[in-house]
Structure 1
Amino acid sequence: MTGIFCPKCGRDVDILYGKVCRQCFIGGKKLLECPAVIHLRICPTCGSVFKRGKWSSGEDEVETILDSVKDNLKINRDATDLELTLTPNKLDYSRYKVHIEAKARIEGVEIDASQDTEIRISWETCDVCSRIAGGYFEGIIQIRADKRFPAQEEQKECIMIAEDVAARAQERGDRLAFIAKTAELREGIDIYVGLIKLGRQICRAIIDRFGGRFTESPKLVGQKDGEDLYRITFALRLPEFVGGDIINVDDTVIEVHSSGKYVSGIDLDTGKRFIEKYDSLANVKKLGRMQDAVSAVLVADEKRIIQVLDPDTYETVTVKRPEFLSAKPGDEIKIIKTAKGIYVLP
């Protein structure tokens, strides 16, 4: 006999915990509490979850179930070294049973507990999916190009940019920042957006990549709670020129490599690199495309000037020698004939 007894149950024990034996100490402590039934509202289309009075983007269905259990689970505030295991079991289309096991220490005493809870799902269409299904949109982005039709590659990249901007906006919590639909037309693309500010964000992102400009045209479409509702048309115009174009900028002939916030390329007179802000360019005229290049024979190289044989007239033409030229007389080189004369291409 140890001489120590529990004042609550009278057992002889080796040690007391909080002035009682281990069994009495544990019996007075509740490690976890969880409702027997948890009700959950999930959108069947996108998996969003309704909680705390609003719809929030959801994850995998099982992860959503486990998160709902954790949200409703109460753990003893004195518990330390907690080990929690949740085991879900799908009962049918709208019900899960989750087995909860927990181990922890309270004032140094190991305690474990287990419980089952049932998750009952109510499948409801969320606010975003409801608007998409109803054809709701606040703005249309009309993507066109000056004096040409946007290339297929440009159209695909514009759509990718729009989708990326919308995805990042939703990650920041703008659930209505969705793309309702995209219409690909011969003259360009129309992108329907769920938020006006998303339309502006997409326009700015596309202009950062390709250059260009956009304007806004509001149209009154109704009223809600005494406030006017507007639908905005964003008219976005891509630049007339793109990579591979030959342009004349303030009397300088440039082969364009890339066009966006900045236009970069090569000065075909000197062979030097060219880079300028798109917005600062003035008196720009398109002279041709790299695809218009033809082969010609280099007749003579006189350091600052060269002579080439015009493949159409077979006349010798004198042009400035660009820095990038490495060919020797007798070699074939690529040239382009423009309204400003003949230019050698890299």
Structure 2
Amino acid sequence: MVRVVCPSCGRVTDTLVGGLCPDCFRALNPLLVQKKEIRLEECRVCGAFRLGGSKWIRDAGKLEEEILRRLTSFAEIRGVVQELTLNLERNTIKLTVLGKAHEALPESYVEAHELRFKISKTICDSCLGYVSRRKTAIVQIRARGRELTRDERTVIKNTLNVLSARSASKGLDHVPVEVKEEPFGMDIYFSSSAVANEFVRMLSGRLHFDVLETSKLIGVTNSGREKHRLTIRLLLPPFKRGDIVNIDGKLFLVDGIASGKIIVRDLITFEKNTLPLSRLNLNNVHVHASKEDLEEGIVVSNDGISVYVITSSSREMLEISIKHGRQAALFTPGSRVGILRKTDEIILVPRVLSG
């Protein structure tokens, strides 16, 4: 029997499959390759699932069967496959494949794959027919002069999920009829004005915003009663986490925003302060530079006298004198910083990573 060397791993083998030893051929030729993400819809109310426009499914076993039936629409099956087993868990879709990548391989084997998927929350047809008999309230969420950030959208969606979870004990009115998401903001429709106000109260503990309520006559019931639609407009401040703001002539980094307060860091002393937010003092807060406008850099060294930073874009080396002890602690070697260039000086800004 002729023995040959595998060109990939260098091992001596009796058999080459596709020019490689069996182990290397298996490693380079999986039985399944996922081509695109699986998109699932989940009903906020009853927990039913739908795959790519198919029928709504409430039984987990039938959903697994449907995913297997449509497997080739988002994955490529290779080689000789004898059996496929799918297990749907809350956060994973696991697929077990029995087969072999080439007929010349001596025996079949098992591969385990974890499939990529994304779940979007919506309302199934049955539940929608119940909750959408009327859209009596809309909550419009905007930010003054800017788009909503990813963190702000996450807070809003998480609050909606908490509210929807109450539907089991308090009724389907707690599930929003429709959620429209645009770059400039979000519109959330409710079948109950009381629940819309409850949502606003819940959100007010997580975000700061001004509230404007209006009511519009939209018709008359069969009994002659007027029908109104309530619109609640929530307006978030023009600044967000990571922005540089000017307050009474001094520059501050916005380190955090919560209901009724803003956490800022003085860019001279680098001391943190918490300031109350109200419509009166909001007029004194002006955005000097947005987080996205700041140059990025990496601290190369800090000798206690100066901080040396290299810019990410032009690879320019900057030397910034340390004026306060807090600077030395904030700007350690390897840390990422923002760079704010003024006419007469350069200010290093601690990075606020989220927001």
Q: TM-score, normalised by structure 2?
A: 0.50
Where does structure 2 lack aligned partners over 5 or more consecutive residues?
1-44, 48-125, 351-355
Shift in Å, 1:345: 2.4
- For the Cα contact (< 8 Å) 1:256–1:266, is it kept in 2? yes
1:223 to 186, 205, 220: 220
Quickly say closer, same or farther: Cα 1:315–1:273, change in 2 above 3 A.
closer
Counterpart-to-counterpart distance in 2, 1:229 and 1:322: 63
- Please give the residue correspondences for 1:128-143 in structure 2 after superposition, counting only pairs within 5 Å: 130-134=129-133, 136-143=134-141
Residues 12-59 of structure 1: CA deviation (Å, up to 9, x unaligned): xxxxxxxxxxxxxxxxxxxxxxxxxxxxxxxxx959xxxxxxxxxxxx
SS in structure 1 at match of 2:206: helix
Quickly say closer, same or farther: Cα 1:316–1:184, change in 2 above 3 A.
closer
- For the Cα contact (< 8 Å) 2:145–2:238, is it kept in 1? yes
The residue number in structure 2 matching 1:284 is 285
- For the Cα contact (< 8 Å) 2:155–2:206, is it kept in 1? no
> What letter matches 1:221 in structure 2?
I
**Identity percentage of aligned residues:** 21
- Please give the residue correspondences for 1:66-77 in structure 2 after superposition, counting only pairs within 5 Å: none
Shift in Å, 1:258: 1.4
1:342 and 2:329 are equivalent in the alignment: no
- For the Cα contact (< 8 Å) 1:298–1:333, is it kept in 2? no
2:170 to 170, 173, 178: 173
1:182 and 2:179 are equivalent in the alignment: yes
* CA root-mean-square deviation: 4.1
Shift in Å, 1:197: 1.9
1:267 and 2:298 are equivalent in the alignment: no
Residues 232-285 of structure 1: CA deviation (Å, up to 9, x unaligned): 112111222222112112223221221121211321111111111222444111
SS in structure 2 at match of 1:345: strand
SS in structure 2 at match of 1:164: helix
- For the Cα contact (< 8 Å) 2:219–2:227, is it kept in 1? yes
1:205 and 2:206 are equivalent in the alignment: no
The residue number in structure 2 matching 1:23 is none
- For the Cα contact (< 8 Å) 1:178–1:195, is it kept in 2? no
SS in structure 2 at match of 1:140: strand
Residues 286-320 of structure 1: CA deviation (Å, up to 9, x unaligned): 12244514448899977xxx798998999988785
Quickly say closer, same or farther: Cα 1:179–1:266, change in 2 above 3 A.
same
Quickly say closer, same or farther: Cα 1:163–1:331, change in 2 above 3 A.
closer
> What letter matches 2:275 in structure 1?
E
Counterpart-to-counterpart distance in 1, 2:336 and 2:156: 36
The residue number in structure 2 matching 1:324 is 327
Quickly say closer, same or farther: Cα 1:301–1:217, change in 2 above 3 A.
same
> What letter matches 2:205 in structure 1?
D
1:242 and 2:240 are equivalent in the alignment: yes
Counterpart-to-counterpart distance in 1, 2:325 and 2:348: 7
> What letter matches 2:228 in structure 1?
Y
SS in structure 1 at match of 2:240: coil
Quickly say closer, same or farther: Cα 1:274–1:322, change in 2 above 3 A.
farther
> What letter matches 1:220 in structure 2?
L
- For the Cα contact (< 8 Å) 2:163–2:175, is it kept in 1? no
The residue number in structure 2 matching 1:161 is 159
Counterpart-to-counterpart distance in 2, 1:258 and 1:332: 20
Shift in Å, 1:211: 0.8
- For the Cα contact (< 8 Å) 1:212–1:236, is it kept in 2? yes
Question: How many residues get paired?
Answer: 219
Shift in Å, 1:175: 4.6
> What letter matches 2:268 in structure 1?
D
Bigger radius of gyration, 1 or 2?
1
Counterpart-to-counterpart distance in 2, 1:133 and 1:308: 60
Counterpart-to-counterpart distance in 2, 1:150 and 1:128: 29
- For the Cα contact (< 8 Å) 1:319–1:343, is it kept in 2? no
Where does structure 1 lack aligned partners over 5 or more consecutive residues?
1-44, 48-126
